[in-house]
Amino acid sequence: MITAHGDNPVVIRAPKVTVGHFPHIAVRPVGPTMRPPTSPRAIGAAVSPMTTQGPHPASGSVPGHPIAPATPQPASHPPKLLDRLAEALRARHYSRRTEQAYRHWVKRFIFFHNVRHPAEMAEPEINAFLTHLAVKENVSASTQTQALCALLFLYRHIVGYEIGNIGEVIRARKPTRLPVVMTREEAKAILTGLSGDRWLMASLMYGAGLRLMECLRVRVQDIDFSRNEILVRDGKGAKDRITVLPESLKTPLRDHLRIVKTIHEKDVADGWGRVQMPMALDRKYPNAPTDWRWQWVFPQRHRWINPTTKEQGRHHVDESLVQKAVRDAVTRAGLTKRATCHTFRHSFATHLREGGYDIRTVQELLGHSDVKTTMIYTHVLNRGPAGVRSPVDSL
């Protein structure tokens, strides 16, 4: 409540209340240790004009009636550190896999230093953690680098501190590895052990050089049968590229899409059939989620429920199902190599180089930014041990 008579001081008895006779005046809170404002400038700072249309909605008072105190608002808690980290990563369009990895390393870092807040730590603690990973846990060089990137992102974008020289960190050695490559006969044996859509997915990974998730995320509109092309959208590093559509897979792929379209039309008729859209396209194009062109080429057998909208649709096949099918096929084929879904991609690039295709063509099909990454497949052009006759063979 305010009383102002001439030069008398302003008396503040309740924080931010509405005066009955002056509904357009409200009082700002003043701390208990502060002196009441006496100058006109101070009084103007303590009193602020509100709306002049009727009584304050919080008070419900009318002229001549006592003042009703405003309803107290619950105190809002600031978001947690890991939640802020996730928001910052999503705002910069990092992948969900990167978000999961960064959250993991930040938690490891905090618990390594006995649950200290990162704002209380800096370069020495980062050094100790990275050294521990290399010396005690024997992690690979790429794992240690990933942990470092997670901590640099945390301090730069969340803590607001730019990390300087972290000192002499014992780095894990980066070994020189060669990719596991299958022969054409071995690839054929594995594909023979698969059937249905699992065979079609493995054939696309081998025939087009697709990564596993790139294969699963192909949509109907990304396949161009007339130009024998597959458009890979939002691949590794958020890059698009075009790769080849094998001629031998066009007929089975068309047959597969006819079955998928029949299922999609039935879902739409039942009131479902909505697919998850990239970014916010479902708000810009409300009818796009049910459009046939946006559907996954390899949808799940069962519908899923969107936790936000409660709408049902079909997501793409889970990657673990394809990985298990390929692993079982490798076992049945009797291969002793550690062949996985990614081995099809290595074999695709190697067999193209063996077929005489230049390194730049292979680089574009694989989507490598640097040709040095593609150069790892040039080892197949050198005969190496295969061109050497061992002395024991001449005995």
Closest CA to 342 of 185, 207, 210: 210
> Distance between CA 14 and CA 81 in Å, rounded?
35
Catalytic residue among 56, 198, 345, 346: 345
Catalytic residue among 236, 256, 303, 315: 236
Indicate the pLDDT class of residue 385, thresholds 50, 70 and 90. low
111 burial via Cβ count (<10 Å: 0-12, 13-18, 19+): exposed
Q: Is the pLDDT of residue 37 over 90?
A: no
Percent of the chain at pLDDT > 70 equals 78
Report helix, strand or coil for 139: coil
Q: Which class is 181-282+289-383 in CATH? A: mainly alpha
Residues 6 or more apart whose Cβ sits within 8 Å of residue 267: 273, 303, 312, 313, 314
Please say if 211 is a catalytic residue: yes
User: What single-letter amino acid sits at 146?
Assistant: Q
Domain ranges of the chain: 1-64, 81-159, 181-282+289-383
Please say if 236 is a catalytic residue: yes
Closest CA to 154 of 80, 224, 89, 218: 89
Q: Cα angle vertex 121, ends 120, 122, to 5°? A: 135
Task: Say if CB 296 and CB 217 are below 8 A apart.
Answer: yes
Read off the pLDDT of each residue in 331-354 and give the average, rounded to a whole number: 94
Catalytic residue among 102, 155, 206, 377: 377
Q: Is the pLDDT of residue 20 over 60?
A: no
Higher pLDDT, 329 or 48: 329
Q: What stretch of H or E contains 230? A: strand 229-232
What's the pLDDT score for residue 40? 41
Tens digits of per-residue pLDDT, 39-97?
A: 444 333 333 333 334 444 444 444 444 444 555 555 567 788 999 999 999 999 898 88
Q: What stretch of H or E contains 49? A: strand 47-49
From residue 48, alpha-carbon distances to 12, 33, 60, 106 in Å are 14, 21, 19, 45
Q: Long-range contacts for 380-387 (Cβ within 8 Å, ≥24 apart)?
A: 380/181, 380/350, 380/353, 380/354, 381/353, 381/354
> Distance between CA 288 and CA 284 in Å, rounded?
9
Closest CA to 129 of 110, 142, 116: 110
Task: Say if CB 159 and CB 122 are below 8 A apart.
Answer: no
Tens digits of per-residue pLDDT, 289-322?
A: 899 999 999 999 888 887 777 778 888 999 999 9
The domain 81-159 having CATH identifier 3.30.1490.20: the answer here is no
What's the pLDDT score for residue 100? 95
Catalytic residue among 211, 274, 314, 346: 211
**Per-residue burial over 358-383, b = 16 or more CB atoms within 10 Å of its CB, e = otherwise:** ebeebbebbbbeeeeebebbeebeee
Tens digits of per-residue pLDDT, 117-171?
A: 999 998 899 999 999 999 999 998 899 999 999 999 999 999 998 888 777 777 7
Backbone φ and ψ for 188, nearest 5 degrees, come out as -65, -40
Residues 6 or more apart whose Cβ sits within 8 Å of residue 296: 216, 217, 218, 219, 220, 275, 314, 315, 316, 317
Tens digits of per-residue pLDDT, 170-197?
A: 777 777 778 889 999 999 999 999 999 9
What's the pLDDT score for residue 234? 86
